[in-house]
Structure 1
Amino acid sequence: MHRRIKEGALKAHTNAIKPDLTDENKKTRLVFCLSSVTRSLSNGSPVFHDMFNVVHIDEKWFYLTKPSKRYYLVLDEDELYRTCKSKKFITKVMFLAAVARPRYDSSGKAKRSSKNHVAGTLETKPILSVTKEVTRSWLIEKVLPAIRSTWPGNHTGPIYIQQDNAKPHIDVNDAEFKLEASKDGFDIRLGFQPPNSPDLNVLDLGFFRAIQSLQEQEVLGLIDELVSAVKSSLERMPSHELNKVFLTLQTCMKEIMKVRGGNNYKIPHIGKGKLERQGNLPLQIECDENLIYEALSYLSHGHEEKVTPNLLVLKEKKEKELVMEEMNSVLSFVEHSYWQSWTVVYTSFFPQPHILDQNTTWFTEFSPPPSAFHLPPDQQVFLFVMKTLCQAFESLIVEAVGAV
């Protein structure tokens, strides 16, 4: 097998189990992705929203250690001695993370407006269970103050906190949260991501994995050490890496639309590192109008009304374009067929060869040669009838196109 891999006949593949989605889940995911599409300010083409006004939150367990880890030792160094009462119950800590897309100034540096916090002694207390009351206190006492202290002062409009559908999460209309979220002139709102959709949250999509890879490089023995290691890993994570994850989220939304809300897709690679080095990293990923139309057509009417109005206008425009294309193809076919019929009839009445100009738009533009007016009356009548029929047919087609 190793030889086959070196030859290129086989390749290693890591397969991860994905959530099982119902038809309703797929449609909800599709609506969510469509609702993230807007118009580009430069050329008016469809693009995904820049997502600067969205804060992604999620919880994750970080473990003190793993049952098996690889270490690199010098030749005379002793092997580490690690113990645990049970491999099934390794000490772990749950972290609530909240991230927003980084903003950059004209020089390419990340903007920061955070206030200095007073340093203190870290104190950890166990929580027996995470309930709605605990989640509400986290949001009000931790997340909201962090948003107020770090958010740019020139921002306008609402700020959305996106959370998953875990049971301890509070409702979007929670009265206590809404009261706190409207203080100091802020308009902060809660929102749910689609069920069974970790690929629509930047933390699950890649940021947690990046933090965990840094944290696992540390040798830890105490809970406080684990907390400090995770916090330092978050601080060491470059802001441009988080920006890349937000772009990956937009590319995933595009793929989700292609598979009609499913998750049976490969995360596309657009070479973000190379584009960043060249200074060509996009702020927003473009979305094809045909893809949007296909996604809107797939949705039922009950879901369409949840989509932004500008996309529904785009769908109506696309439908008219398709009807016009089909009408034009019909016109071309009919014109060609009538031209062939006219040629057959014309040559049968005029045995001498005559030059017929097929570049004319309609047969009504064709004028018979002067010799035609010296024909017998019955043949002149026939030519008149044919020309009248062509004019009538043209009028019907024009009326049909106008009705569209």
Structure 2
Amino acid sequence: MSTTVRSALLATTGLAIAVAAATGCAQKSGADGDGAIKVAASDTACEVSKKDFPAGKATIEVENKGAKVTELYVLFPDGRIVAERENIGPGTKATITAEIKAGDYEFACKPGMKGDGIRTKVKATGKGGEKRSPELDAAVAAYRAYAQEQADETLPKAQAFADAVKAGDVEAAKKAYAPSRLGWERTEPVAESFGDIDPKVDVREDGLEAGQDPAKDWKGWHRLEKSLFQDGKITDQDKKLADTLMADLTDWQKKVGQAEITPTSMANGAKELLDEVATGKVTGEEERYSHTDLVDFKGNLEGAQKAYELLKPTAEKNDPALVKQLDTQFSALGVLLDRYRADKNGYDFTSYDKVGDAERKELSDGVNSLAEPLSKLVAAVAK
């Protein structure tokens, strides 16, 4: 995943946040007359209408008045990512619905989706926050266990991949590559909440920041993917990068338990995983050398469905029509993806370079058909 494709599913201590793609998910806050904190983003400015607002549920409305595609980040002062909305085109708007506890933060607009961004300091004051039902507490606990399980199961698979790289065994490393990524793909937004782990392990070459040298600064899975699948050889540097990858993944595995998970962050994360499919997997950009995009696709879909299933009892009470639609679309997309699966229960999928344009469009349409109702899950859970 590129460093510019970020939206936090989880936040670190002291903050629970959710980003809603659909309008109609806005929650009332003390900002401005209509209840929204308005951000006017341009190529040279990041103007925030309310720099001091009540803690609790807040709605952030972003308008891109510049000529470049931009992003909005909500950040802790030390730069950790709280939440973001990416790919806000010139002349378009986006809405972020967030539950923010008292504290200091920064809004950062990133014209061109590169660099540190144009930053504005803001403060949330007061107590804020709401109690949730035992049903939702159970969903959060189950998802926390799932995220930890995925991280725990990733390490031995990643170690098998790293060992093959260090042994100079190209074919064994190729075989171990995609399986080593599944747990990460299922719960990727968890890692994004920690800020620095995702760029270390999952950045593509075109996701490097300006001034970074691919020969020195590009690390992680995709750097090794290029060596294996395009270059067909393993260098001494690659062997060192395999150890670096394991160190970074171990860091992720240890931090998973520290992440604060909320029902709204789970719902938003499910949508973000579908966005991952739309922006990276269906386009073939994510796994451009190995063409294992459909394995990642399956992992993203499984992760999104897990979060949805845990939240489903609450969503069904609040919006039964939405749940019916989501059940139908999850099932339809699963059936469509399984056409490219070599066996019913495994993860051996058709190489994506063998999937034609018409089939890719069909997959894209399937993703979009699910993403639209999934964007409404936040509202159904937060009612």
The two structures have a TM-score, normalised by structure 1, of 0.21
Q: Which structure has greater strand proportion?
A: 2
TM-score of the superposition, structure 2-length normalised?
0.22
Larger Rg belongs to: 1
